[in-house]
Amino acid sequence: MNDPANAPRVPGNPVRDLPLPELAGFTHRWVDADGVRLHAVEGGQPDGPAVVLLAGFPQTWWAWRKVMPNLADRFHVIAIDLPGQGHSERPDISYDTHTVAAHVHAAVKALGVSTYWLVAHDIGAWVGFSLALKYQSQLRGLALLDAGIPGITLPDAIPTDPERAWKTWHFAFHLVPDLPETLLAGREREYVGWFLKVKTLFTDTFDDVEVEQYAASVAADGGLRASLAYYRDAAESARKNHEALEQQRLGVPVLGISSSHGSIPDMAASIRPWADHATGIVVPDAGHFIPDEQPDAVAAALTDFITEDD
């Protein structure tokens, strides 16, 4: 696998100063997603069931690099960088999850996919939940990994017990106007590195190259502003989720993937009050970053979930 630090820059990439990592068997694509240029990495079986992957903070599509090859034998695999993430455009828009979901869905349509399975982690799961509410008729199923959802399962208050507060303290910090930018600009590597080291079960899960890569994404071209915007617009995400749930429940199959040492002990239980069909698994020997820590287990769970009706 190529070193991301030495990857060539590609014409058409809206974040041109950020090196572009390559994954064998997959192709980089950029599409116009209702006025926002989004980056997708596509491979696998063109005629197979489509599986769309969304990552969260502080990662990019690269979070799925170990899972994607395991899915490629059976599925059409598409990993998408959210607006403001990775090699997607960092527009000055609302980053509430319903607005972002519309852009992600438009990107999938632009890639020629009409129906798909959606798999999402962390902030990607925020977007995935809202997308499922907006586009149920085009979604075949939804898998959510270790994430509280705005207005649904995120607590109204950040815990102050030190045993729990370290997992969620940043939610309040990111909401403060201007201060995070002042403290974090130029220190993105230290900040990103803290999350990647502390929130994994094994602190050597991410090597220095990967930490540098994710930090560079946050630092590049409005990435810090966009990363914070997802949190600053979370109240609007919650409001829109509540409005949508007044009209409908989640009717698509939902798989909640938790981990032995993650943030949400039982993802399925947290979603079940709003979903008609929710099942769950707990991946052992993993912290918050489950796709990086236990990629084989994640790929196997997703394969079982997608092929359950076959």
Query: Positive or negative, the Cα torsion across 45, 81, 273, 236?
Result: negative
CA distance 268 to 271: 5
pLDDT of residue 154: 78
Asked whether the whole model's pTM tops 0.85, one would answer yes
Segment-wise mean pLDDT, segments of 10 residues, the chain, 310 residues: 45 84 97 97 97 98 98 98 97 97 98 98 98 97 96 72 75 90 95 96 95 96 95 96 95 97 93 96 98 98 89
pLDDT of residue 113: 98
Residues 6+ apart with CB under 8 A from 207: none
pLDDT of residue 11: 53
Cα dihedral angle (300, 306, 307, 309), rounded to 10 degrees? 140
Cβ atoms of 26 and 1 within 8 Å: the answer is: no
